[in-house]
Structure 1
Amino acid sequence: MKLRRWPAHQIVWRWHFYAGLFCIPFMLLLSVTGGIYLFKPQVEAALDAPYEHLVLTGAAASAHQQVQAALEAVPGAVLHAYELQANPQSAVRVLVKQGAVISRVYVHPQTLQILNIAREDSKLMRIVHELHGNLLLGARGSYLVELAASWAIVMVITGLYLWWPKAGQGLAGVVYPRMRKSSRVFWRDLHGVVGFWISFFTLFLLISGLPWTKSWGGMLKEIRQIQTMHVQTGNIKIQPQDWTVGGVAAGEHAAHEGHAMQSHAHHHAQDYRLLDQLVATVAPLQLAPPVLIAPPSNKSADWTARSDAQNRPLRVNIRFDTVGNMIERKNFADRPWLDRLIGMGVAIHEGQLFGWFNQLLGVVTALGLVLLSVSAVVLWWKRLANASLFRTLGAPPNSQRPARFAWAMIAVVLSLGVLLPFFGLSLLLVLLMERYVMPYFPMLANYLGLRQAK
């Protein structure tokens, strides 16, 4: 007896269709916000331009005096971190914490005049990041983005399957669109060709973004913590990282901003004069900016200095004791392999690992995803041209036409279901509904394209 070769071609087509129907709104939003976030360094530099090249008529005040001026400007606040100046004419940035709110205070380095006070969570690029990561909905939004990203992976894989050229097809309609054919053929070619060219980097962006999600990122964090129980650097235990979107630890993610350090509470009477010595020690090290120096926290009596460069391999963490002696320096290369792997993925995802070309690659992919989404909607609308939207949603019906490499497709989807448990649960739910619920609603099954083709 010949085994049935599942999934049939139309089933792959239909799963691609519904994955796209669910993912397109998210892909448009993530493409636009991600494309903007690629230029975070340039945007923030432009916004901070008024605080550069200040006029100084004498020697600058000491670092601890600058911090004191910032704290007086925000009553009840404590020092969160001091950022080293990019140049002597730049305003000093002092991060202060008042309750749960972190503010950035711009201080004139000589006169100690307060030039501006801005909440970190109200910064333009911070809002863009939150919109990109959790739709401004917190944990619920993170789950939704993770689910959309997981199904987008399925969308790309099934799209590549459907794009795969047939014997003797040639390059037209495969690697470049046919311009002189009908409108429908043009849009179909455009959709397939663009999808092919950006598929690899799209998959990379989707996968490299998963460590920031609440569910999958939380699972990865647990794995990371188990790993740290067995990994030592010298005699110093490597601290666990927080990969989650809502994480506030000084981990690789650090909410993309790099300033979500440990809370510095109960330090109203802290003597910050040691900061002067630490600034003089850290500045000559030429760490990649921005460089933050933070006072002792509730969890540690040590001072810390760290590079929060978006290019993760440039990051450095340094610890100082209570008298200013360096007691540990940890470079990117000193981190466990999982940290390094994810850190490099983060840097590429943000367009910062290999300069302007990384940003260009990200922009091309973002624009390609927008074009892919638009062409998908156009094709769907054309498919409905001769059918009422109220009679069918436009997905192809089931058929017995066999699909090539069927078991390979099954293996890939099942593997994704195991590697991405949140996606696996949603996939199982969809299959159960299709198998056991839809037969009781024939009109709905017909509308969704679940009926058996004759």
Structure 2
Amino acid sequence: MIVLLASVERRWPDYRAVWRWHLYAGLYCIPFILLLSASGMIYLFKSEIEAWQDRPYDQLQRHQQAVPASEQIAAAVAAVPGSRWKGYELPVSEQSAARVLVSLQGQGIRVYVHPETLEILHQVPEEVRLMRIVRRLHGELLLGPNGSYLVELAACWTLVMILTGLYLWWPRNLPGWGGILYPRVRHSGKIFWRDMHSVTGIWISTLVIFLIVSGLPWSKFWGEYFKTLRTLTHTAVARQDWSTGNETPRGEHSSHEGHQVSSGRESLSRSSRTASESSVVDYTTVDRIAATVIPLKLPAPVIIEPPAQGETTWSAKSMTANRPQRVTLQLDATSGAVVSRENFRDRHLVDRIVGTGIALHEGQLFGWPNQALGVLTALGLLVMSLSGLVLWWRRRHPGELGAPPAGHPARFSMMLTLSLLCLAIFMPLFGATLVGVLLLEWGLLSRIPGVRTWLGLRGCVPRQARGEA
């Protein structure tokens, strides 16, 4: 262990070490921050963007009563040969087209059907819809699970960047509050860019920490880690209300494979079906279910789904983005009566906390002020990141990474170290990379004179590398 330990001639981490870790985190995270801030701002307005995209299908001219939902579903399934019905979205107005969700070879397809004429107005695979692409870009960089790991690492190291940034920002006998709580805009050069970086960071730090923590349940690694913790603590539920990694989001009809739905218009004979398709329900059941659900006026969108495999009750779910308003109904197929109702307050405390955090993260908890808060936070991240890059580029010296001299005494070192240890336990993926970087820095890079000087590792030279016994 002596070979890997830094010199104890001064307290660790000292000012240079903290600054170096702040820079490590920044150089890795800033490209992700720029991308995630931009995509996150777009996703804040998911409902508005999708409503604008669907406006041709929500302004239909109606002249007579709509045909039953069962016939709308049959028309949609017939329009996608070989598909299976997965869900029916209740129209939000009389001028709206019916949205029918079907599955073809595992791919979800949204079919827009005229409620009077049964004309197919539009059909689009769920995965190529604009906001689904933005969601995948934001959560996994369009790279699948590997992208989710990269985003999670960036989130973890952004927390390190914030903690070390607060350590470096902490006031040191500066006169007044300029450069601490507000930027000194009349100055130029280094002072201006430093103030823009540090003051912006201090004002948005709490919001950024919340966004990171509330987004972790979606990530692939930490999401599975969270499921394991819930199992060990006996707080797990049969189905959680959010997806992890690149899973299909809840409410997107991913849990009903293996069901065959029949109607009078079907051309396939039942005798030709395989055993796996033997669970048969009738489209006309939707008419009874809809007659029960529509008067309840659940928050839109409301999705009616057939029974999951092994179950007998149908479900109607409010999939509103404001998750605390969500409701799930279980209904009897024969009578259409409500068998059970689950409101948000009926869920486990953990699920309520996560659900509320997700709604706030997505800007849907308290209307446009929530969206505005999200936009300001994202813009603050952009300002903080870009000003940090400018500040580092201007202050660096030839042959060195740019760590400042150790002119400030080490303060709160133990608190910072304990905070990082807690993060490593809370986020194992971060803990693994932290250990890896420490071993690389102390065990290898500090032994190479040129690299040691460039990184500013003067205080991290192993004793044996300096010839000490």
Task: Give yes or no for TM over 0.5.
Answer: yes
C-alpha deviation, 1:260, in angstroms: 4.2
Q: Which residue of 2 aligns with 1:265?
A: 258
Q: Which residue of 2 aligns with 1:394?
A: 402
Letter of the 1:263 partner, please give it. Answer: H
Match of 1:96 among 92, 99, 102: 102
User: Is 2:30 aligned against 1:24?
Assistant: yes
User: Is 2:59 aligned against 1:47?
Assistant: no
Letter of the 1:185 partner, please give it. Answer: I
SS of residue in 1 equivalent to 2:282: coil
C-alpha deviation, 1:142, in angstroms: 0.5
Taking structure 1 as the reference length, the TM-score comes to 0.91
Q: How many residues align?
A: 435
Could you report, residue by residue, the CA deviation over 1:266-300 in whole angstroms, capped at 9, with x for unpaired residues?
40434110100111100111111100000122242
C-alpha deviation, 1:161, in angstroms: 1.5
C-alpha deviation, 1:77, in angstroms: 0.7
User: Is 2:118 aligned against 1:107?
Assistant: no
Partners of 1:396 and 1:359 lie apart in 2 by 39
User: Is 2:438 aligned against 1:431?
Assistant: yes
Q: Which residue of 1 aligns with 2:301?
A: 290
- Higher radius of gyration, 1 or 2: 2
Partners of 1:246 and 1:66 lie apart in 2 by 31
C-alpha deviation, 1:378, in angstroms: 0.7
Partners of 2:155 and 2:100 lie apart in 1 by 37
Q: Would the aligned equivalents of 1:221 and 1:241 in 2 still touch at CA under 8 Å?
A: no
Q: Would the aligned equivalents of 1:307 and 1:316 in 2 still touch at CA under 8 Å?
A: yes
Q: Would the aligned equivalents of 1:80 and 1:263 in 2 still touch at CA under 8 Å?
A: yes
Q: Percent identity?
A: 48
Q: CA RMSD in A?
A: 2.0
Q: Which residue of 2 aligns with 1:247?
A: 247
Letter of the 2:54 partner, please give it. Answer: D
Match of 1:340 among 348, 352, 365: 352
Partners of 1:352 and 1:363 lie apart in 2 by 12
SS of residue in 1 equivalent to 2:260: coil
User: Is 2:427 aligned against 1:420?
Assistant: yes
Change (3 A) 1:73 1:283: same
Write out aligned runs for 1:227-376 (5 A).
Answer: 239-240=239-240, 243-248=243-248, 254=250, 258-269=251-262, 270-323=281-334, 324-376=336-388
SS of residue in 1 equivalent to 2:138: helix
Structure 1 segments unaligned to the other structure (5+ residues):
232-236
Q: Would the aligned equivalents of 2:88 and 2:100 in 1 still touch at CA under 8 Å?
A: yes
C-alpha deviation, 1:14, in angstroms: 1.2
Write out aligned runs for 1:133-282 (5 A).
Answer: 133-226=139-232, 239-240=239-240, 243-248=243-248, 254=250, 258-269=251-262, 270-282=281-293
Q: Which residue of 1 aligns with 2:410?
A: 403
Q: Would the aligned equivalents of 1:218 and 1:243 in 2 still touch at CA under 8 Å?
A: no
Could you report, residue by residue, the CA deviation over 1:178-225 in whole angstroms, capped at 9, with x for unpaired residues?
123231110101111111111110111011111111111111122334
SS of residue in 2 equivalent to 1:171: coil
Q: Would the aligned equivalents of 2:446 and 2:457 in 1 still touch at CA under 8 Å?
A: no
Partners of 2:245 and 2:302 lie apart in 1 by 22
Match of 2:449 among 427, 432, 442: 442
Could you report, residue by residue, the CA deviation over 1:92-125 in whole angstroms, capped at 9, with x for unpaired residues?
0001111111010000000000000011100101
Partners of 2:432 and 2:46 lie apart in 1 by 35
Structure 2 segments unaligned to the other structure (5+ residues):
1-7, 263-280, 462-469
